[in-house]
Amino acid sequence: LTGVSSSPGQYASDAATDGHTVLMWNERMMRSLKELTHRLTSGDELYRKAVHQMTQVLIRKLTNLSQYEEALVKIKATATDRLTVLKAKPQAIQRDMLSICNDPFTVAQQLTHIELERLSYIGPEEFIQAFEKKDPLDNEKSYFSDHKKASNLEAYVEWFNRLSFMVATEICMPVKKKQRARVIEFFIDVARECFNIGNFNSLMAIISGMNMSPVSRLRKTWSKVKTAKFDILEHQMDPSSNFYNYRTALRGATQRSRTANSNREKIVIPFFSLLIKDIYFLNEGCSNKMQNGHVNFEKFWEMAKQVGEFMVWKKVECPFEKDRKILQYLLTAPVFSEDALYLASYESEGPENHTEKDRWKSLRCVPESQGWWGGGVPLLHSS
């Protein structure tokens, strides 16, 4: 086998410097590792010191990861508290994205910070641990076979959903049609800047938010919007022909990244749900063994290639300056649930058919306090 370290010290180094080994999820395995390294290094002072240093590196990385995951729980608790306040005082919602920042490029930069933050905590083993024999985009909870093992991957998927709902909320909240149109055009510009940066995940989340039914039905609002730029972005992310246009753009961004001299040009943030689905179907669609009983190395090589690319992308340091105010808003601002979006949409532009009228009537009977979706997630790295 190639690439296997020849010495116990180097092997321990490989394990210690990879902050996402399976060991970190299993305390029993950690104890076994300590026992093994102790035996391997007994009587060799050089190896003993090296392994001690590597173990400290591993512990620091695991501690950092543990703190990150604990913060995910805490921030959701904080979001719940904010929702409680809003239930008591719904009129407390006064701020919107444009009041925080009206520069699309700056918002796209902050979205890129969040995306790279989320990516940095996803380990390669999570892709394998997450899959059961089902469609990875099925929203059933059992898709993630072990919540602890795949929690960072799941948190990243939840971030995509939050961003989509936030975009839809920002569009549906304004009472005046002119303001709604302005918000749509603003997020179109944000999406375009995300595309230019190489942030395809935020790009797709924004497009998804704009294509949600409560937003797309606002015909009078859309009639006031210059949609040429949006049409181009939709074309780039068109799902036809297995996302051919997107995959072409992704290859271009990847090539740019390989030859780049600056972190700005190295940024490649893939449309994550499609990446998951690609790996899932590669795993499920190809047998581990060939008909002659030999290991299907081609399958595993292709999987390693895809995950390996991801590992390169996630290590890029974001070159943009952080804006704490914008980040805080993007990560924690309450957003509407789907029902609340429909209600806001109908209040802005009345229902046009019997189906919409019936839904509107039923939604108006639901207490307003039940109309919020709490999906805040944190950003932990400091500059």
- What pLDDT does 363 receive? 84
pLDDT band, residue 90 (cuts 50/70/90): low
Report, as an integer, the average pLDDT of 57-86.
66
* Rounded percentage of the chain residues whose pLDDT exceeds 90: 47
Counting other chains too, the contacts that 244-251 makes at CB distance below 8 Å and 24 or more residues apart are: 246/200, 246/271, 246/274, 249/195, 249/200, 250/200
* CA atoms of 306 and 288, how far apart (whole Å): 17
- What pLDDT does 60 receive? 75
**Of residues 251, 274, 162, the one with CA closest to residue 198:** 251
Q: Where are the alpha helices (DSSP H) in 211-271?
A: 213-216, 219-222, 228-236, 240-259, 263-266
For residue 336, the Cα-to-chain-centroid distance in whole angstroms is 19
Report, as an integer, the average pLDDT of 108-114.
97
Q: Where are the beta strands (DSSP E) in the chain?
A: 335-336, 372-373
> Taking a C-beta distance cutoff of 8 angstroms, is the pair 127, 153 a contact?
yes
Lookup: tokens for 115? 């995306």
207 against 46, higher pLDDT? 207
Counted residue by residue, the chain has a size of 383
pLDDT band, residue 291 (cuts 50/70/90): confident
Of the listed ranges 15-19, 43-47, 123-127, the one predicted with least confidence: 15-19
* CA atoms of 292 and 181, how far apart (whole Å): 62
- What pLDDT does 218 receive? 97
Of the listed ranges 91-95, 164-168, 259-263, the one predicted with least confidence: 91-95
When the pLDDT of each residue in the chain is averaged and rounded to a whole number, the result is 80
Contact partners, residue 6, CB within 8 Å, separation at least 6: none
100 against 42, higher pLDDT? 100
- Helix then strand count (H, E) for the chain reads 19, 2
Type of residue at 304: A
> Taking a C-beta distance cutoff of 8 angstroms, is the pair 90, 127 a contact?
no
Summarised one tens digit per residue, pLDDT across range 171-200 is 999 989 999 999 999 999 999 999 999 999
pLDDT above 90: residue 36? no
* CA atoms of 376 and 370, how far apart (whole Å): 17
47 against 24, higher pLDDT? 47
Of the listed ranges 217-221, 310-314, 349-353, 364-368, the one predicted with least confidence: 364-368
Of the listed ranges 72-81, 226-235, 301-310, the one predicted with least confidence: 72-81
Full DSSP string of 41-71: HTT-HHHHHHHHHHHHHHHHHHHHHHHHHHH
- What pLDDT does 380 receive? 32
> Taking a C-beta distance cutoff of 8 angstroms, is the pair 118, 71 a contact?
no
* CA atoms of 338 and 331, how far apart (whole Å): 19
Q: What is the rounded (10 degree) CA torsion for 265, 267, 268, 272? A: -160
Summarised one tens digit per residue, pLDDT across range 347-381 is 999 999 999 999 888 888 765 545 554 443 333 33
Most confident of 135-144, 223-232, 273-282: 223-232
pLDDT above 90: residue 210? yes
